[in-house]
Amino acid sequence: SINTILHYAHKKELGEVDKVFVTGCLSERYKADLEKEITNVDQYFGTHDLPNLLKALEADYKHELIGERLTTTPKHYAYLKIAEGCDRPCSFCAIPLMRGKHVSTPIEEVVEEATKLAKKGVKELILIAQDLTYYGLDIYKKRELAKLLKALVKIDGVEWIRLHYAFPSGFPLDVLEVMKNESKICNYLDIPLQHINTELLTSMRRGTTHEKTTALIAQFRKAIPNMAIRTTLIVGYPNETEAQFQELKDWIQEMRFDRLGCFAYSHEAQTHAYLLKDNVPENIKQQRVAEIMELQSQISFELNQQKVGQVFKCLFDRKEGTQFIGRTEFDSPDVDNEVLVDASKHYIQMGQFINIKITEAGDFDLYGTPV
């Protein structure tokens, strides 16, 4: 934040630090403004400036740096970034301004980092990028997510591979074939859809329509009937009418997504949508968010009731109070459902896969016993 930059710039003035370097999204987006306003910072770097930052620190960029990382997650799972930046023109999004153009990490480098993580005990890889769908187009001139997945499943020690943040337009359908044939790839896909009304999707510059989006979800479910689909939606986008919002609610009821998040539209400076009038009142935005999440809560409860009596392979992340807490392959850490096991009756080692029979289910939690 600006306050953090000012804090360390002041420390430099006091002689408590020799140099101050700033890197990340803020300096990527507002570098010229920051250089003008906070002049006692030695240098500002963007999101793709690691070699230049190391040079400024009088360090050499080493190929060995790839994979040498500290994880902030439990040791049995890790997030694996396969690309940085985004080339999509979504009207509401400032990510391209902060992260720059899409840059895919070569397959061999991703595999190298994943192998090192596996040797450290990582069993689940969560693949992330601003846009998984685009992976490979910049460096291989074609979408290569499927090829990357085929390479990652060969790594010893990795048991789950999870996909986060795909884009609906241009999704590489060959990924579904790999997902179906490779047991290590979770039957799970995070694909933010944002809305379903075609007029709003056009204004959002999403490159799709109501009909195309619905057809894509049908393709997913035909290829992999038990796939868990997570999506995120935006309500209160400029000019969203009550009828368009109702269309979204009706569609959610029809689609019955396994996991869903909803956010109120935020009017971001420098985005294309900033040219539009932010004309949906904040209280209406929040009311619409609440309605969507109430609807999803009911859908989730009904879907979870169907799991009672079934057995699922679960990975256990932590213990809280009297409960061991784990996840099925259909659940990502922190954002999805959890499986709770009574710690007073059973002992489970963290980071282990255990088969759990579901005995009870709520809106977002499942309860079970080891079998």
pLDDT of residue 138: 97
Backbone angles phi, psi at 206, to 5 degrees: -90, -10
Domain with CATH 2.40.50.140 in the chain: 308-370
Residue 47 pLDDT: 72
Query: What pLDDT tens digit does each residue of the chain (371 aa) get?
Result: 788 999 998 888 899 988 899 988 788 778 888 888 888 898 888 776 776 777 777 765 544 454 455 667 889 999 999 999 999 999 999 988 888 899 999 999 999 999 999 999 999 999 999 999 999 999 999 999 999 999 999 999 999 999 999 999 999 999 999 999 999 999 999 999 999 999 999 999 999 999 999 999 999 999 999 999 999 999 999 999 999 999 999 999 999 999 999 999 999 999 999 999 999 999 999 999 999 999 999 999 999 999 999 999 999 999 999 999 999 999 999 999 999 999 999 999 999 999 999 999 999 999 999 99
What pLDDT shows up at residue 95? 86
Task: Please report the pLDDT score of residue 92 as a whole number.
Answer: 96
Helix, strand, coil abundance in the chain, percent, nearest 5: 35, 20, 40
- Count other Cβ atoms within 10 Å, centred on residue 278: 16
Residue 60 · residue 50 · CB < 8 Å: no
Q: What is the pLDDT of residue 67?
A: 45
Q: Considering the domain 2-64, what is its CATH architecture?
A: 3-Layer(aba) Sandwich (3.40)
Distance CA 149, CA 135 (A): 11
Could you give the residue range(s) of every CATH 3.40.50.12160 domain in the chain?
2-64
Q: How far apart are CA 95 and CA 79, in angstroms?
A: 19
The pair of three-digit structure tokens given for residue 352, joined into one six-digit string: 């282990």
Confirm if 117 and 79 have CB atoms less than 8 A apart.
no
**323 DSSP β-pair partners:** 320, 342
The DSSP symbol for 319 reads E
Instruction: State the pLDDT at residue 54.
Output: 72
**CATH 3.80.30.20 describes domain 67-306:** yes
What is the value of pTM for the model shown? 0.84
Question: What is the length of the chain?
Answer: 371
pLDDT at site 69 = 56
CB 91 within 8 A of CB 233: no
Architecture per CATH, 308-370:
Beta Barrel (2.40)
CATH 3.80.30.20 placement within the chain: 67-306
